[in-house]
Structure 1
């Protein structure tokens, strides 16, 4: 029994570290498809990609990073002004007052490079 507890702890920690190592392949493929729509200024293609992949704009766009830029900045830098204006309301804003007692842990962003 004394040997079973440390052995179980070692096995569980190794499984935990291996599971959180990388992004899921399907999620990465979906995010790359969204980033590729940011290269064009085609709203029809953008809307179709969003619907096919069932993407929640409020969750994804504040965190999505394409080639080191936020998705909004990525679309603007590639001349996709229509798409950039479409997602502008979902871009993160600037907060000037910070309540230290109410701060939540920061979410990590979704970063893809293709």
Structure 2
């Protein structure tokens, strides 16, 4: 009996971890609704969907993938330029370049930052 209780706890824990790996159905529906707004170039529909689903733009848009593309790329590929322009500031596809100033000529001193 003493060995049965820890064994049962281990089995139930492993089942719980496997079940939590999948996305919550309610969250999945909300993200699908956001992806569907990229199919229409309607900013009113976009704003309403974001408010109704309480989407945090800074957390969701750099990570949201719709049909294998980032949300921004998905919106552009479907012709939703207004929506794509609206979420462009939240897209984290920027890059930074650093130039060593000690190794450059004094005439060509410059700062190189690309976003």
* Same fold? TM cut 0.5: yes
CA distance in 2, matches of 1:47, 1:19: 30
Q: CA deviation at 1:14?
A: 2.1
CA distance in 1, matches of 2:60, 2:15: 30
Aligned to 1:14: 15
For residues 62 and 4 of structure 2, what CA distance do their matches in structure 1 show? 47
Q: Which residue does 2:110 correspond to in 1?
A: none
> Are 1:54 and 2:54 counterparts?
yes
Counterpart position of 1:67: 67
CA apart distance, 1:47: 0.6
Name the structure, 1 or 2, with higher relative contact order (CA <8 Å, separation 6+): 1
Larger radius of gyration: 2
Q: Measure, in 1, the Cα distance between the counterparts of 2:56 and 2:62.
A: 11
**If the length of structure 1 is used for normalisation, what is the TM-score?**
0.76
Deviations 1:6-37 (A, max 9, x none): 332222222222232x2111111111111111
Structure 2 length as normaliser, TM-score? Answer: 0.75
